[in-house]
Amino acid sequence: MEKPAALAHAAIYDTVVKALRDEPRGKLLDVPAGHGALAQKLIDEGFDVGCCDLYPQLFALDGVPIDGGDLDARLPYDDASFQYAVCVEGLEHIQNPTNAIRELSRILAKGGFLIVSVPNIMNIEERLKWVIYGYTSHFKPLSSEALAKVRAEFPNTEEVALHVNPIGYSEVRYILEKYGFKVEQVLVDKPKSKGWAYWPIAAMIKLFGRMNSKQRRRERWTDELNSNEVLMGGNTLIFKARKT
């Protein structure tokens, strides 16, 4: 059987699987499920995987049912229906990430885990691109020319490709905590190939951060924002959070 095509980099899927590998097996929701590449990996790991997507017609995993659902609306599941939920390549594509995390909290049982990914707009390389170009790699201007290309490649499914909501570490953590999650891990997809070139700038940022009092650093999440995962991390941040 031909494997479904991946809509995200393989390193993201591998990191998600690794983050869940030591957890007890249980019922898991993959949303948005895309073509089913991540769902296949999680099924192979022994999880009872349910799938959901705005465009279920794109799903290509044989023998696995999929539900239609919109992260900007109410998901088609009862409260506390799952022990795990995975939202990879989702929040940056929708208008209301707050609603998405609220819904994922609703459908998770107490003690359940949520894995959510976002493009890392806070690493050194992306910060410099913002200063130089006025936009980052993952959130380029949505000009009429750019939109025309996307709509030609993804007719009537442009949300699959469009990044419309630049959301970083602070925003994700705030929303997670607001809806009852505690962040247990922040992971990256893979190291930046030329990360060494940015170490002098990173060291300066870390030094300025350390000049603040411990209380101020706690209040502003300074140490977390200046961590290697955020400051020097790869293209994607991956949060593992428990519903408390």
> Per-residue pLDDT averaged across 133-147, rounded?
95
- Does 48 have pLDDT greater than 80? yes
The answer for 224, left when phi > 0, alpha when psi is -120 to 50, beta otherwise, is alpha
Is residue 5 very low, low, confident or very high in pLDDT (cuts 50, 70, 90)? low
- Does 138 have pLDDT greater than 60? yes
Q: pLDDT > 70: what percent of the chain?
A: 97
- Does 2 have pLDDT greater than 60? no
Q: Whole-angstrom Cα distance, residue 196 to residue 202?
A: 10
- Does 196 have pLDDT greater than 90? no
* Alpha-carbon distance values, 192 to 59, 122, 228 (Å): 31, 13, 11
Residue 30, pLDDT score = 98
**Cβ atoms within 10 Å, residue 46:** 11
Residue 190, pLDDT score = 86
* Alpha-carbon distance values, 6 to 3, 14, 64, 168 (Å): 9, 12, 16, 23
pLDDT digit string (tens) for 163-195? 999 999 999 999 999 999 999 999 999 888 788
Q: Whole-angstrom Cα distance, residue 30 to residue 32?
A: 6
* Alpha-carbon distance values, 118 to 4, 44, 99 (Å): 22, 24, 15
Residue 230, pLDDT score = 95
Residue 1, pLDDT score = 42
Q: Whole-angstrom Cα distance, residue 213 to residue 22?
A: 37
Residue 4, pLDDT score = 67
Asked: is 10-120+141-193+234-243 a CATH 3.40.50.150 domain? The reply is yes
Average pLDDT for the chain:
94
Residue 207, pLDDT score = 96
Task: Render 174-195 in DSSP notation, one character per residue.
Answer: HHHHHTTEEEEEEEESS--TTG
- Choose among 141, 135, 120: nearest CA to 198: 120
> Per-residue pLDDT averaged across 72-96, rounded?
97
Is residue 10 very low, low, confident or very high in pLDDT (cuts 50, 70, 90)? confident
Is residue 40 very low, low, confident or very high in pLDDT (cuts 50, 70, 90)? very high
> Per-residue pLDDT averaged across 81-94, rounded?
97
Residue 238, pLDDT score = 97
Q: Whole-angstrom Cα distance, residue 238 to residue 219?
A: 22
Model pTM? 0.94
- Residue 199 one-letter amino acid: W
